[in-house]
Amino acid sequence: MSAAGRLGRLGRLPSVRALLCQAAAFPLTLAGVYLLARAGAQPSYLVAAILQGVFAAWLAWRWRLAPWWFAIGGLFPLALLGASTLDLPPGLFLGVFLFMLVLYWSTFRTQVPYYPSGKTAWTVVAAQLQQGRPVRVIDIGSGLGGLVLDLARRRPEAQVTGIELAPLPWLASWLRARATGSRARFILGDYEKLDFGSFDAVFAYLSPAAMSALWQKARREMRPGSMLMSYEFGVEGQPPALSLCLHDGSRTLYIWHF
More confident residue, 25 or 103: 25
Cβ contact 92:188 at 8 Å:
no
Average pLDDT (43-71) is 87
**pLDDT for position 108:** 47
Cβ contact 160:199 at 8 Å:
no
* Separation between Cα atoms, residue 241 and residue 57, nearest integer Å: 41
**145 Cβ neighbours under 8 A, 6+ residues apart:** 162, 164, 169, 172, 173, 174, 176, 177, 184, 186
Average pLDDT (111-128) is 76
Domains and CATH numbers, the chain: 3-87 (no CATH), 119-257 (3.40.50.150)
219-232 confidence digits (pLDDT tens): 999 999 999 999 98
pTM over 0.75: no
**pLDDT for position 141:** 87
Q: Is the pLDDT of residue 195 over 80?
A: yes
Point out which residues pair with 201 in neighbouring strands.
137, 227
